[in-house]
Structure 1
Amino acid sequence: MTARVLIVDDIPTNVRLLEARLSAEYYEVLTASSGREAIEICQAGKVDIVLLDVMMPQMDGFEVCQRLKADRQTHHIPVLMVTALDQPSDKLRGLEVGADDFLTKPVDDVQLMARVRSLVRLKTLTDELRSRAQTGQAIAIEDTWQAAASISTDGGRVLLVDDDARNAQRIAGYLGETAQVDVLSHPQDAALAVSGGEYELVLVSMGLNDIDPLRVCSQMRTAEQSRSLPIILIAEESDRPRVLRGLELGVNDFITRPVERNELQARVRTQLRRQRYAVALRESVSNTLALAVTDELTGLYNRRYFERHLGLMLAKSQDQEREMALMLVDMDYFKTVNDTHGHDVGDRVLREFSDRLRRNIRGIDLACRYGGEEFVVLMPDTEASPARLVAERVRAAVADRPFSGSNGADMNLTVSVGLALNDVAVDTPDTMLKRADVALYQAKRNGRNQVVAAMDHALTANQQAN
C-alpha cells in the first residue's frame, strides 16, 4: 500500500536517511525543513501521513502537531512523531497534542515501517468515509468535524485478552479510572466475545499459553461485526517480528513490556478517539445518503432521486413493453396560503398534503416532491384507467377535507393534476414530463381542482382544430 509521506526535520541528514528508507518501500516522499512549511503542505491536501521531528527551531513538533489537529483541513492526517526524547512524559505529551504515534531515534527500520503501514491504513479508511460524506452534502463534513472536535474518550469499553491473571489485573488497574475493562482468560472465545458490538477496543497479550495471539486477532478481523474494532498488542521486546506480522494482519498498535501506565492510557485514548470518530463518520455517511435523496420538509424522495429513478423505470418498461404512468400534481393558489397565513403554515400544509398523497397512492407508486408546491408520482405497470383512478383519489383527498390555517382557521384547498402515459417506442424522461406538464397546465386553464390526462388534452386540441 503506497502513500505520500511528509518528512519534517530541519537536519538534512535525517531527512535523507528517512527518505531513502521509505522510498525503498515505494512510498512517495515529500520534505519540509520547518513547521510552518509542513503546515502549508498539509493544508494543500498533498499528504497521507506526517513524520514529524520534535526538536526544531521556531516551532517545535509539539506545536506543529497541535496546529494540524486543530485545523479541520488537516486534523484527519496521521502524525508520527520522531524524536530523540525518550522520557515517558515526552511521549505522553506527544499523544496528548494529537500525535497518532511516535518513534524514538535512532529509528528502527522494523518499527518505522510497521507504524507507517498501520497509519496509512487508518488514513485510507478515513479518506473513504470523508469522500462519501462530501459526495452527499458538504454539511456532512461540517457535522463530522464538530463530532471529532467534541469526542470524549471517557468510559471506553475495553476487552483485555490475557490468560495470566496477575498481568491482566495489573493492566486492568492501569485503565480502571477512565475505561471499563473486562478480562477474558479464555482467548479462544475472543471472537465470540466481541461479536455483540459492545466493545470499542481489544488488548491482546502476546504471551498467551495455549493459542497463537495472532490467530486470535485474525479471527476478530475476519468477523464482520469486529472487522473495524481497534486491537492493541501487549508484547515483549523479543516479539517484534511477530508484532510486525500482526500489524500486517490489521492490528492497530502495540506496546512493549514493561508497560508504562501513562503510555498505555495514552495509546488507549488514541484508539478510542479514532474508533469513535470512525463511528461518527459512518453515521454521517448514512445520514448523508438519506439527505441526498429525500426532501427535508416532507420526507418524500426529492427531484434528484426522482429524475434518476424515472430514467431507470422508463427503460425497464420499454424493454418489457409495459405501460407506465406519470402524475404531476400542483397545489392551486398556494402562494395565497403563504401570503395570508405565513410560511410556517405553508410548510405545515405541504407536510399534511404529503401525508395525504402517501395514503392515497398505491404501494408500488413512488411519490416525490418535485419543487415548491409541485409533486410527482411515478406509477409503474399502470395503464390509463387505474392511473386516472389514483389521480382522482389524490385530488379528492385534498378537496374533501380542509387544512388547518393560522389561529385554527380552516382552509379549503385543491390540486390540479396532469397525467401522462409512456409511449413504449419513443419516449424519454423529458418527453413524459413535458406531456404531464402540458396536461397540468390545461387542468389549471380549465378551472383547477381536476385531473387532465395528456391524451385528453390532445383529443381536445384536435377537436378544436377541426
Structure 2
Amino acid sequence: MPYLARVLVVMQDPRVAQRIMDGLRARGLFLFSARNGAEALRLARQLLTDVVIIDDLLPDGDGCDFVDMLHNDPDTGHIPVLMLGGRASSALRRRSLAVGVDELLIGTYDEGLIAARMSKLVRLGIMQAELRRRAATARSFRVEIDRRRGQESRDGPPVLLLAAQLGEDLDDVADILQSRYRLLRTAGAAEAAQLLHEQVVDTLVLSFDGGDREDWLGLALHVRDTPALYDVPVLGIGQVASAPDVQTLIQTGIDDLISRPFSPDELHGRVLSALRRRRLRRSLTAMFASLEAPATIDAETGAFQQAFLRVHLSRLVFEASKWDKPLSIATVSYRNLSLLIERRGPAAAQSVMARAADTLKRLVRVEDLIARADDNTLVAVLTDTPGDRSLKALHRIAGSLATTDYGLAGLPTAPIWMQMGHASLEPSDTADSLLLRARQILL
C-alpha cells in the first residue's frame, strides 16, 4: 500500500520506539527506526525521510546535537523534527528552538498527541520534498529557485489574537504574551472570526475553559476552510478535563493544545514553534512561486506548460513508485472550446482556460501542480495524495468550477461543457499511462 510519509523514529529505548511505531502505523505512515544519532543520520540521508521523531537523549549524544547536524546537512536540512523530552526544562526548550526542532512534546508518549503534532509536520515535509523535486525540474528549463523570496521581512512583533469566551478572564495568559507580542483580545467566537478577516493575525490562541467549546471548534474549522486564513496557527488553552479529545483536535485543525497549568516558558515555546512553522510555510510558498517563469508557465492560462508537466510528472511517478508513495491526478477538459472560438473568438476560449486555471490554483495546496495538458485540458497533480483523498478534492473542485465566472456573461454563447477525470498511481504506471487513465476515468 502507498504510504503518505516516511517517518524515522530515533529512541534510546527500543521498546518505546516500537510502541510509538505501532501507534502510528495505521495512520498511513511508513515507519523505520534507529537507536542512535549516527545510524539516524545515515538512514535520514538514504531513505527519503519526511519527518523525524527523536528522543532528547540518545546513547551517543544529545538529541539537540543530532538535530543540529541534521539541519546543517544540505541533504537533510529540510526534514521537520518532533522531539520527545522526558521532563520539562527551560534549557531544553530554548536549545530545541535554537537548533530548529519543529515540535517539542514533554513527558508523554501518548500516540494520539504524537499523531496530532505529526500531522502538520508531515505537511511541511511533503511541501519541502515537492519543492526539491520541482526545483530540479525547473533547472532543466533554466529556471532557478529564488531563495531570497522566502526570506520574510516584517517590521514589529508578531500579532497574536487571544480569544476568550464571554465573561472569561484570561489576564494571566495575556500578561505572559503581551511582553513579547502585539496582543489583540476578543470575547466570543463570532468577534474573533470577524477580527481575523479584518487584519493580519499571526497566531490565534483560544481558551476551552469557559462556555461552549463547540464555538471554538467551529472557529478552528472556519480558519482551516478559509484560504486567506488557512496558515494561521490555532493554539488551544485549557484544563485537561475541558479540552476536546485528540481526534477532535486533529479533525478541526487545532495545531496544539496547551494544558493548564503551564509555565511562561512553556507557553512562549509553543507560540514560537507555531510562528516558526507559519514563517516556513510562507517561505516555501514564495519559493514555489519563484519557479513560475516564462520558460515554465503557459502564457495564456498561467498554469505550467505541457512540456514542464511531462518532465515533472515522470519525476513524480519514478519517485512515488520507488518509495511506495501515493500520487493522484485530476483532469479538467472543456470539450466545446472549438465551438466557443467559432462563436466568440479565441479570446473567449482563452478566458475560460485562464479562469479555470486560476480557480484550480486557489483550490489545491501550494505543492500541487496545475498544468496545461493540451488546448482544452488542465491537469491537477496531487502530490503524496491517496485516491480517496484526491476524490474528495476532485468533488470540491468540480463544484467550484461549475460556479466559476468565466467572463462570458451578457453575450450569447454555448453552454461550457466541462468533463473531469481522475486516476491514482498504480505499480505498472508511467507518466503517460497515468495521464491517459485520468482522461478515461470520468467523475
**Deviation (angstroms), 1:128:** 4.4
Distance between the aligned counterparts of 1:250 and 1:141, measured in 2? 34
Counterparts of 1:177 and 1:141, CA distance in 2: 41
Contact 2:145 2:287 in 1 (8 A): no
Instruction: For residue 178 of structure 1, report the CA deviation from its aligned partner.
Output: 2.8
SS in 2 for 1:226: coil
- Residues 205 and 96 of structure 1: is their aligned pair in 2 closer, same or farther, counting only changes over 3 Å? farther
Q: Tell me, yes or no, if the aligned pair for 1:118 and 1:253 is still in contact at 8 Å.
A: no
Deviation at 1:7, TM superposition (A): 1.0
1:281 aligns with 2:284: yes
> For residues 69 and 263 of structure 1, do their structure 2 counterparts lie closer, same or farther at Cα, with a shift above 3 Å needed?
farther
2:112 is aligned to 110
Q: State the one-letter code of the partner of 2:164.
A: D
Distance in 1 (CA, whole Å) between partners of 2:207 and 2:264 is 16
C-alpha contact 1:191 1:223 (8 A) present in aligned 2: no
Q: Following the alignment from structure 1 to structure 2, what is the Cα–Cα distance between the partners of residues 119 and 245?
A: 18
**What amino acid does structure 1 have at the position aligned with 2:33?**
T
Cα offset for 1:266? Answer: 1.8
Aligned equivalents of 2:190, 2:223: Cα separation in 1 = 11
Tell me the CA shift for residue 79 of structure 1: 1.0
Q: Distance in 2 between matches of 1:121 and 1:261?
A: 28
Given that residues 208 and 238 in structure 2 are in contact (C-alpha distance below 8 angstroms), is that contact kept between their aligned partners in structure 1?
A: yes
The answer to whether 1:252 aligns with 2:265 is no
- Tell me whether 1:122 sits opposite 2:132 in the alignment: no
Q: Secondary structure at the match of 2:104?
A: strand
Q: Which residue of the partner structure matches residue 5 of structure 2?
A: 3
**Distance in 2 separating the partners of 1:261 and 1:99:** 19
Q: What is the CA deviation profile of residues 241-268 of structure 1, one whole-angstrom value per residue up to 9, with x for unaligned ones?
A: 4344122222222211123211221221
Query: In the aligned structure 1, how far is the partner of 2:341 from the partner of 2:43?
Result: 56
Partner of 1:190: 192
From the superposition, tell whether residues 188 and 18 of structure 1 become closer, same or farther in structure 2 (CA, over 3 Å): same
**8 Å contact from structure 2 (residues 116, 249) kept in 1:** no
Shift of the 153–37 alpha-carbon distance from structure 1 to 2, 3 Å rule, reads farther
What is the letter of the counterpart of residue 20 of structure 1? D
The whole-number CA distance in structure 2 between the counterparts of 1:177 and 1:266 is 14
Higher relative contact order (CA 8 A, sep 6+): 2
Gaps of 5+ in 2: 309-336, 344-349, 351-443
Alignment match of 2:29 (pick from 23, 27, 30): 27
Matched, 1:224 2:227: yes
Partner of 1:85: 87
Partner of 2:275: 272
| From 236, 239, 242, the counterpart of 2:239 | 236
Q: Which residue of 2 aligns with 1:414?
A: none
Deviation (angstroms), 1:20:
2.4
Is contact 1:151-1:273 (8 Å) kept?
no
1:292-329 CA distances to partner (integer Å, 9 max, x unpaired)?
448xxxx9x9xx96999xxxxxxx9999899xxxxxxx
Letter in 1 for 2:80: P
Letter in 2 for 1:288: L
Cα deviation, residue 276, structure 1: 1.7
* Secondary structure in 1 matching 2:58: coil
One-letter code aligned to 2:24: L
For the residue of structure 2 that corresponds to 1:51, the secondary structure is strand
CA distance in 2, matches of 1:147, 1:37: 35
Q: Unmatched 5+ residue regions in structure 1?
A: 309-315, 323-363, 365-466
- Report the CA distance between 1:88 and its aligned residue: 3.9
One-letter amino acid of the counterpart of residue 229, structure 1: V
Q: If you compute each CA radius of gyration, which structure gives the higher value, 1 or 2? A: 1
Distance 1:43 1:140 in 2: 26
Q: Do the aligned partners of 1:197 and 1:225 also contact (CA within 8 Å) in 2?
A: no
The amino acid across from 1:104 in the alignment is: I
The Cα shift of 1:191 comes to 2.4
Against the structure 1 CA distance between its residues 232 and 70, is the aligned structure 2 distance closer, same or farther, given a 3 Å change threshold?
A: farther
**Contact 2:116/2:255 (CA < 8 Å) preserved in 1?**
no
- Counterpart CA distance in 1 for 2:175 and 2:53 is 33
Judge conservation of contact 2:145–2:291 (CA < 8 Å) in 1. no
Q: 1:80: Cα distance to partner?
A: 1.2
Aligned counterparts of 2:195 and 2:110: Cα–Cα separation in 1: 35
1:261 to 261, 264, 267: 264
Aligned to 2:20: 18
Q: Which AA in structure 2 matches 1:155?
A: P
Q: Note the C-alpha offset of 1:106.
A: 4.8
For residues 277-296 of structure 1, the C-alpha deviation after alignment (integer angstroms, 9 at most, x for no partner) is 221222222232135448xx
Aligned identity (percent) is 26
CA distance in 2, matches of 1:225, 1:278: 14
166-175 or 28-37: which moved more? 166-175
What amino acid sits opposite 1:7 in the alignment? V
- Offset of residue 170 of structure 1: 2.6
Correspondence for 1:207 = 209
Choose between structure 1 and 2: higher helix proportion.
1
Higher mean C-alpha deviation, range 14-23 or range 246-255: 14-23
For 1:284, give the aligned amino acid: M
Question: 1:154–1:178: 8 Å Cα contact kept in structure 2?
Answer: no
Cα deviation digits, residues 88-123 of structure 1 (max 9, x gap) = 432343233211222335512322222223422333
Q: Which residue of 2 aligns with 1:180?
A: 182
Per-residue deviation at 1:152?
8.5
1:314-353 alignment to 2 at 5 Å?
none
Q: Deviations over 1:169-205 (max 9, x none)?
A: 3323322233211111132122222124511211111
Please say if residues 102 and 277 of structure 2, whose CA atoms lie closer than 8 Å, have aligned partners that are also in contact.
no
Q: 1:101 aligns with which of 100, 103, 112?
A: 103
Taking the aligned partners of 1:153 and 1:57, their CA distance within structure 2 comes to 43
Would the aligned equivalents of 2:84 and 2:107 in 1 still touch at CA under 8 Å? Answer: yes
Aligned pairs for 1:292-331 (under 5 A) are 292-293=295-296
Give per-residue Cα distances to partners, 1:14-41, cap 9 Å, x unaligned.
3222232223444311111211221222
Give the direction of change, closer, same or farther, for the CA distance of 1:193–1:140 in structure 2 (3 Å limit). Answer: farther
Counterpart residue identity of residue 39, structure 2: E
Provide the aligned length of Structure 1 versus Structure 2.
315
Q: In the superposition, relative to structure 1, how do residues 272 and 101 fare at CA in structure 2: closer, same or farther (>3 Å)?
A: same
Distance 1:271 1:140 in 2: 32
